[in-house]
A and B are shown apart, each in its own frame.
Chain A
């Protein structure tokens, strides 16, 4: 027997604030969030008879429709051309940024200038415009982050679409020095940026260090006590895998550690194309 409409009205009222919070952080401004909330409620109301409390909470049902509305919104934005007149600055900047991205910092004579160039100024079309400089920033930050190098190397193969299982089964026996060289070669084959060798430089240079000289965190030192005195480039990935538990889970944890460190570093640095991109979104709120 269908539930009375008043029950659904109460459920909707209970989820309204939560839905707005869910949408606010996923779109560029509050007005867009309000519009999408309206669209979501229209969809929910239209399909409310299909809601079955035995299959999940009303919030889960609402979120499915919110995600549908969001995907439609992003897809529509992606199809839109950029209105002429609104983008001249963006493309002037993006063009300069792209040109900068081809030059190593050393070549410009400005050692303080980051390798990935100047900040971009995104527009409403940013969902399908991410400049190569932004991704180069991620690569540079990942390659130079303070996570142990084996985590970064394993993460690099993730960006080449390797699964944890493939990494464990096919790469675990290789030394990190060889894996780093292979990673760089295969990345360059897919993304032939002129500055790629500079981006990989920090990771490459760590291969001749002892792990104990790079890792200061006491907990990490305890975990890898057996390899602290080894030269990093001569160690194999297998030496870092835990004796107990699934090795694939360890690989996923390493990837996650690198991601968290890089994202927090970008937020803390307060500069660079990616920070500017995120900050621009913030200002629209």
Chain B
């Protein structure tokens, strides 16, 4: 035992053993009692604990999810700079600052078109969903890979959800084609109720960046509101809903 260890001080190696529960009980007790009174060791131990925690959470999948959040945060920031609507700018700013790349709900959309096939797919992106989100999309119909002449069914993907208990339903329809569309429809928006902004970002198959923000707008003569993204080339996109909390 080194003089430092006799005083109860712990080395980084020993602290790693401590956080991995690899120390003998007696040494663990000595270190914990020492940590209650030694600021220097507590500082080192906090660093080791912090790194140990990040290390244990690190997987390739987690890395991809964090990267996706960084990208969404950057997309919100870019939309905030580009919009000419001051109210939207404020809402986007609040979204970016408050939720750090998280959304009320997020979907990954993919469309593909060739001479032989057009297809669309959509799936939820849980990694981008904020804690406590009330928007949970359930797939209603999902297009699978097809060959030959595409039918109407195969060219679209649909997901739907209830915005909040007792509140309107939302429905996202993705249609593939040379000029695809993504339609976000919210049923029964009540007068005075704010519908979320919807941000669509991603990359076309020809590597052109796409970034658009829409607000679902009431339609004349009907009880639902719609946001529609038209003329979307085939590509991969993320559709993110502004957090609904006030």
- Please give the residue numbers on chain A whose beta carbons come within 8 Å of chain B beta carbons, in ascending order: 17-22, 24-26, 28, 59, 78-79, 81-82, 84, 87-88, 91, 94-95, 98-99, 101, 125, 128-132, 134-136, 138-139, 159-161, 186-187, 190-193, 259-260, 262-264, 266-267, 274-275, 277-279, 281-282, 285
Contacts and interface: CB of A to CB of B under 8 A. Distances in A.
B131 interface: yes
B87 interface: no
A135 B99 contact: no
A278 B13 CA distance: 16
Interface of B: 12-13, 16, 29, 31-37, 39, 42-52, 54-55, 57-64, 66-67, 70-71, 73-74, 77, 94, 96-100, 131-132, 245
B48 A267 contact: yes
Given A24-B42, A278-B46, A79 B132 contact: yes
Contact of A161 (B51, B59, B64, B96): B59
A277 B35 contact: no
B46 A21 contact: no
B60 A129 contact: no
A270 B211 CA distance: 38
Mostly helix, strand, loop or mixed at chain B's interface? helix
A26 B146 CA distance: 52
A91 B97 contact: yes
Given A22-B32, A132-B66, A277-B50, A190 B61 contact: yes
The 4 closest A-B pairs by CB, nearest first: A21-B35, A191-B64, A21-B36, A278-B47
Contacts of A264: 12-13
B94 A94 contact: no
A110 to B, nearest CB: 21
B48 A263 contact: yes
B67 A21 contact: no
A24 B71 CA distance: 35
A113 B50 CA distance: 24
A267 B54 contact: no
B131 A281 contact: no
Contacts of A282: 43-44, 46-47
Contacts of A135: 54, 58, 62-63, 66
A130 B33 contact: no
A192 B99 CA distance: 23
A190 B127 CA distance: 12
23 contacts: A24-B36, A79-B131, A82-B99, A91-B96, A91-B100, A94-B73, A125-B100, A128-B100, A131-B70, A132-B63, A132-B66, A159-B58, A186-B60, A190-B64, A263-B48, A264-B13, A267-B12, A267-B48, A267-B51, A278-B51, A279-B47, A281-B50, A285-B42
